[in-house]
Structure 1
Amino acid sequence: MNLIYIHTHDTGKYVQPYGSPVATPNLMQFASGGTLFRHAFSAAPTCAPSRASLMTGMCPHSNGMLGLPHRGFLLNDYSRHMAQYLQNFGFETILCGEHHEAPNDDMIGYSRVLSRDKSAKEISEKAWDLTNANRVADFLFSGTGKPFFLSFGMHNTHREYPEIDQSINPDFVMPPFPIYDTKETRRDMAAFYSAVRIVDSCVGIVLDALKRSGHGKDTAVIISTDHGIAFPRMKCHLYDTGIGVMLMMDFPGNPMGGKVLDSLVSQVDLFPTVCDLLGISKPAWLQGHTLMPLLNGAETEVRDKIFAEVNFHAAYEPKRCVRTSRYKLIRLYDDYNHIVPANTDDSPSKDLMLRSGYLAEARPHEMLFDLYLDPTERVNLVTENRYAEIHSEMSDRLNRWMLRTKDPILMGKLQKPKHALVNKPSCISPASTDYEP
């Protein structure tokens, strides 16, 4: 069996199959015939650590990707990347478009890269993604003598967003919770939805080529994103708005085709699942659980908790969380008493919050939420006596995971690589050049 992994930038779950009010007919058709996971989570709500975790089957502090490659962070061992591992079993591994797992394509070790020409990207991200979708289609029609793994990454829905699609009227768009409803934030979300439309068009090109080339009969497809959308309290935050992701998959003979699953899953579970789908052995370093018992109907759960983390994004802001189906504990491991604004992408929505006193808000270093009663994660229960036992249990789960995975934050402040670019925690924008020494 072959495998195509289709992924986007900063989409969260804001697509039609998850109830978002934007037409994505190609994603909807795929979800309707495949398997959709309602409770899938990223291992990190930042671009490179999330992707590196999915591609290695390890959390960021285990695989070494504590920050962003273009700022100086790298994987500890690129031979543990899925693209290189699959080559050991005779797979041709192909990259087209975004990856965000190394400062250049060659470091990762794909057999072939289809998207070295950056001219389309320089014109617009829309043109870049559409050009790459057609490159994937051309590859599917060209044929190959080997089984293949193809990673197709889109820049959309990363900021900056494209011009608002003429079919989308911002006056009738609702900004995402918890963003306040204003003309500016409506336009911000309308631009995001315009980027989602581009994503859906690209997915349609690839899926159409998959069907017409005949590879639909021998190819598994996984569609996901790295983390939540680039709005305040989402991307780079451990709330569900930051770590919740779309995850849809399908493969020939899928017993759960057309099904929606409420099972708790993490993106670190995809590497072991891929191994089972492709019929190859699993490497010893994997930290996730195969999803095959869910996909073949043998089980309804493969895990009872997920973990996620942040270390470096634009600025240093280490934090960890453990989440069960009902409860979440978030813990911060720095001594800041203020918001770290550079870790929120610049946007009209961020500007509104900055003007309104966002930086004066309290920043608790520990938060406990009862998600059944408070799915929006607004009521911190850490000091509530009636939740003392739950707090103790969740804290123990988090501590045991950190010990088991040898989390370096337990030894004190994380050190950045010598020449890495890390903004000072006082920087307002990630575009600032005021870096830590």
Structure 2
Amino acid sequence: MHNVIYLHTHDMGRYIGAYGYGVETPAMDAFAEQSTLFRHAYCCGPTCSPSRVGLLTGRTPHQEGMLGLAHRGFHLEYPEHHLGAHLSKHGFSTALFGIQHEFNGRLGDMPYGRIETGGHLDTPLERDKWATARACDFLKEDHDQPFFMSFGLFYPHRPFLRASEYKGRIRPPEVLPDVAPIREDMEDYACSVGFADECLGTVLDEIKAHGYFDNSIIILTTDHGMAFPNMKCSLTDHGIGVALLLHYPGNPTSGKQLDSLVSHIDIFPTICDLICLEFPEHLQGHSFVPLLKGENSKARNEVFSEVTYHAAYEPKRCIRTHRYKLILRWAPLTYPLANCDSSPSKSFLRQHDWPQNPLPEAELYDLVLDPQEQSNLAGDQFIEVVERDLRQRLMDWMRQTDDPLLSGHVERPAGALVNRNDSEEPGNTDYEEIKAP
């Protein structure tokens, strides 16, 4: 039976060389040449814990109770649904090296037989280096049963590593202005993702050196978009779009790029399909193995994504099809600045009155004619049939998945830390008072 190796970065989106961006990521680029690269893969929620829970349970974050961040007091209600738990039940050994974001408040629920996070070290740089070395040690060992290995990197999460010099030649994301402070911020991102790439390259080299490349399913992905304004915690493609590379023995689409829509929620059933394991009843995703084998031309017609809490309360949901995106918001219809990571880019935009205006209840975008999602078509008469259809499909999904937003304001759990909506930064201050029920 194949091993399953899950390689994941933090806050990377698709901003790597393999997706055509001007950052140097030679290890991931080389891996892309031996994998299927999905151009249109999307996360279940553009925040850390919900996105990972969606991927690792194959179910929507709100169904699993992960409506916010695990390190702030939100919990995965059904740890037995985790991919690691399912594989362990079927004879896999399980190991975690580096970060995870599903069990920060309940470490005892983690479904790993071996856990080495580097939490005793002082800096993210030291922890990522340590986790890389421990993962390589694991791969050098003899294994008498198939294994599930999760290797998680902190980078390129903020605070970024500093670039040794600023050349001012890197282009910011299209959603941000091309000005010196943001270019310098992007150069620090490039430095940070370059370090993550080195760590991944070291582990991938060890995978190949010990023969695991030929008998393993390897997933390389990230949780959500980059930690820049209008990206992370945003339901635009800048927030929900993710890099996704998949390798497995005999993959007929190895080295190819696919434009079909896929969701992180589809990875769990795809792994089960590839290794001929039963599908747990709780799964909401769909295997995209038929897509890889050429039996279907597309995996799905739409993907869904969600935010309820990040640092602050910001309830919103979206549906994305091949052509259109509909985003719906619930009160409050104001932008909580605490949901944007502190950064030079954020500081620059705030100096220029970002954001000041109330947010719309609905946003509708034609992703063919408006790929940057700048022209909101919601309420326009000429496209009302499309909007009505997308609203119906989104509400049907919410009803089918028992979305708590359908009942109104979603209360946070007792003890969870949530910033007030007028907080300007996501630091550990300005928390709302939270009382036990």
**Which TM-score band (shorter chain)?**
over 0.9
How far apart are residue 97 of structure 1 and its match? 0.4
SS of the equivalent of 1:3 reads: strand
Distance 2:255 2:360 in 1: 42
Distance 1:94 1:9 in 2: 19
How far apart are residue 353 of structure 1 and its match? 1.0
Deviations 1:374-402 (A, max 9, x none): 00000000121110100101101101101
Instruction: Please name the residue that 1:333 is paired with.
Output: 330
Does residue 72 (structure 1) correspond to residue 73 (structure 2)? The answer is: yes
Does residue 204 (structure 1) correspond to residue 206 (structure 2)? The answer is: no
Distance 2:107 2:276 in 1: 27
Instruction: Please name the residue that 2:137 is paired with.
Output: 138
SS of the equivalent of 2:203 reads: helix
Instruction: Please name the residue that 2:355 is paired with.
Output: 359
Distance 2:59 2:48 in 1: 15
8 A contact 2:22–2:171 mirrored in 1:
no
Report the count of equivalent residues. Answer: 431
Which amino acid in structure 1 is aligned with residue 116 of structure 2? L
Deviations 1:87-133 (A, max 9, x none): 11000011000111012543212111133x4344x1x3223212212
Instruction: Please name the residue that 1:406 is paired with.
Output: 402
Which of 370, 377, 381 is equivalent to 1:374?
A: 370
Instruction: Please name the residue that 1:107 is paired with.
Output: 109
8 A contact 2:9–2:223 mirrored in 1:
yes
Instruction: Please name the residue that 1:390 is paired with.
Output: 386
Distance 1:216 1:399 in 2: 42
- Matches of residues 43-82 of structure 1 in structure 2 within 5 Å? 43-82=44-83
Instruction: Please name the residue that 1:435 is paired with.
Output: 431
Deviations 1:21-71 (A, max 9, x none): 112111111101110000000000000000011010011111110001111
8 A contact 1:170–1:186 mirrored in 2:
no
8 A contact 1:47–1:227 mirrored in 2:
yes
How far apart are residue 362 of structure 1 and its match? 3.5
How far apart are residue 2 of structure 1 and its match? 0.2
- Matches of residues 241-320 of structure 1 in structure 2 within 5 Å? 241-320=238-317
Distance 2:140 2:30 in 1: 22
SS of the equivalent of 2:396 reads: helix
Does residue 98 (structure 1) correspond to residue 99 (structure 2)? The answer is: yes
Which amino acid in structure 2 is aligned with residue 158 of structure 1? H
How far apart are residue 329 of structure 1 and its match? 0.3
Deviations 1:266-307 (A, max 9, x none): 000000011112221010010001010111121121210000
Does residue 147 (structure 1) correspond to residue 146 (structure 2)? The answer is: yes
Structure 1 regions of 5+ residues with no counterpart?
A: none
How far apart are residue 231 of structure 1 and its match? 0.4
- Matches of residues 154-193 of structure 1 in structure 2 within 5 Å? 154-166=153-165, 169-193=166-190
TM-score by length of 2: 0.97
How far apart are residue 335 of structure 1 and its match? 3.0
Instruction: Please name the residue that 1:220 is paired with.
Output: 217
Distance 2:76 2:291 in 1: 30
Distance 1:70 1:332 in 2: 25
How far apart are residue 359 of structure 1 and its match? 3.0
Structure 2 regions of 5+ residues with no counterpart?
A: none
Which amino acid in structure 1 is aligned with residue 310 of structure 2? H
Distance 2:167 2:326 in 1: 36
Which amino acid in structure 1 is aligned with residue 386 of structure 2? I
SS of the equivalent of 2:90 reads: coil
- Provide runs of 4+ in structure 1 moved above 3 Å: none
Distance 2:220 2:167 in 1: 28
Deviations 1:212-237 (A, max 9, x none): 11112211110000000000010001
Q: Do the aligned partners of residues 112 and 432 (structure 1) sit closer, same or farther apart at CA in structure 2, a change above 3 Å counting?
A: closer
8 A contact 2:314–2:332 mirrored in 1:
no
Instruction: Please name the residue that 1:10 is paired with.
Output: 11
Which amino acid in structure 2 is aligned with residue 164 of structure 1? A
8 A contact 1:3–1:219 mirrored in 2:
yes
Instruction: Please name the residue that 1:86 is paired with.
Output: 87
Distance 1:240 1:152 in 2: 25
SS of the equivalent of 2:38 reads: strand
8 A contact 1:12–1:229 mirrored in 2:
yes
Deviations 1:119-167 (A, max 9, x none): 44x1x3223212212211111111211100000000001000012145x
Which amino acid in structure 2 is aligned with residue 260 of structure 1? Q
SS of the equivalent of 1:62 reads: coil
SS of the equivalent of 1:175 reads: coil
Distance 1:432 1:386 in 2: 46
Distance 2:217 2:266 in 1: 16
8 A contact 1:105–1:113 mirrored in 2:
no
Deviations 1:160-219 (A, max 9, x none): 0012145xx441111112211222111100000001111111111111111111112211
